[in-house]
Amino acid sequence: MLRGEADLAVHSMKDVPTDLPKGLHLSAITKREDPRDAFIAGKGIKSFNDLPRGAHIGTSSLRRICQLLHLRPDLHITQLRGNVDTRLRKVAQGEFDAIILATAGVKRLGFADRITERLPVEISLPAIGQGAVGIECRVDDEFINSLLKKLNHEETSLCVKAERALLKKLEGGCQVPIAAYAKLTDGRIVIEGLVGSLDGKTLIKETLAGAPEKAESLGTALAEKLLLQGAREILDEVYGH
């Protein structure tokens, strides 16, 4: 884009770094799909609560791992690789008792019927920006920016900005045991954030609410709250500092 070879890029917001290259910005964030995680189980398992003791779960997300182990330390969690087709085949063939993916991605690929349960945020708080799509372009491209303005969903944009501000303050990337989910309730943004240890033994969770126009400062304030409770020590251990 900076070389003028492309005019825009479309991203899943959960994969977008908090710092973008100079000259580029997120011009629009479209209306959010379901932000929840999808629990996809093998035969005979009807919900997360149905999982037998010592069940084998497939996921590559540190965020999911810390929350699952906090609730169910007995679970055996294994790295899950491959595209969505491959991952679904692995659970169908009995390699795992269940796998966990992002609901939005599963739905967009036409596999919604394979979802056993959409996990409540109380069980699995989503990744920053999960379910939202962002469109990036050059800051100074007035024509493209004017077109993209029509695609921006204000509520989603505010909520994702709050979540990304939290992630930036915690200096986290997309593969870290950090979660956040913001929503607009009664004219206020309510954001919940979480940092967890990889073994699931420590989970720091906090919530803040405030005016929508203060979305980013709200996310930053929530991150500071988490840091005061020991989030930095957990993250330093994850990063090997």
Positions marked catalytic: 15
Angle (CA) 13-15-16 rounded to 5° is 70
Write the DSSP string, 94-141.
TS-SEEEEEHHHHHHTT-GGG-SEE--TTTSPPPTTTT-EEEEEETT-
96: amino acid identity, one letter: F
Instruction: Characterize the bridge pairing of strands 133-138 and 203-210.
Output: unpaired
C-alpha–C-alpha distance, residues 35 and 131, integer Å: 5
Question: Is there a contact between 229 and 200 (Cβ–Cβ < 8 Å)?
Answer: no
Q: Which two tokens stand for residue 68?
A: 């699952």
Quote the CA–CA distance of 178 and 130 in Å, as a whole number: 12
Q: C-alpha distances in angstroms, 233 versus 84, 197, 212, 241? A: 34, 9, 30, 9
| Residue whose structure tokens are 């929503």 | 183
Distance CA 178, CA 18 (A): 14
